Amino acid sequence: MPEIVNWTTVRVYYEDTDFSGRVYHASYVRFLERGRTEWLRQIGLRHDILAQSETAFAVRRLEIDFRGPAFIDDALEIETTAEAIKGATLRFRQRVLRGEKILVAAETQIVTISRNRPVRPPRELLERLRRLGVDSAIDAVAERGEPQG
């Protein structure tokens, strides 16, 4: 499917750092989640709307390479690219950069869940993606029937 990329800026605050003087590694995991939320908002969806149909996102798998440190007051860019939707699973490729420097590279698999069980991504999400020209992915999902999770 055509790639839909979101760029989100994150400021490093006290809360994101640890006593080593750098950004705490789990803070990047929060930053990456913010990036995926903003990707969702970019295609016109929000978690609170999804929640009305009792749907939420859950992270299934996370791979993160930490390549360099960030520090208090840094302005970081979160680049979020949705790569594929298969069954109940969305795959994102994400990077955290300060200027040109890549600090973090990550791959994330998300499942859409309802009452703690994986379900096909909600109609709103699939419709938004269809309008953005990603019909084949949607058809693939439509044919698949049962979620993977």
Q: Return the residue of 3, 63, 100, 143 that touches a copy of itself, per CB under 8 A.
A: 63
Distance in Å, CB of 90 to a copy of itself, minimum: 14
CB environment 78-112: b (16+ within 10 A), e (fewer): bbbebeebebbbbbbbbbbbbeeeebbbbebbbbb
Q: Is there binding between residue 91 and a copy of itself (CB under 8 A)? A: no
Out of 20, 100, 143, 145, name the contact with a copy of itself by CB under 8 A. Answer: 20
Number of shown-chain residues binding a copy of itself (CB under 8 A): 39
101 binds a copy of itself (CB under 8 A): no
Own/partner contacts of 90-96, CB < 8 Å, gap of 24 or more, are: 90/57, 90/121, 92/36, 92/39, 94/32, 94/35, 94/36, 96/10, 96/28, 96/31, 96/32, 96/70
Region of 53-61, 78-86, 93-101, 127-135 interacting with a copy of itself (CB under 8 A): 53-61
Residue pair 106/63 in contact by the 8 Å Cβ criterion? yes
Catalytic residues: 18
- List interacting residues with a copy of itself (CB under 8 A): 11, 13-15, 17-22, 24-26, 29-30, 33-34, 37, 41, 46-48, 51, 56, 58-66, 69, 71-73, 113, 116
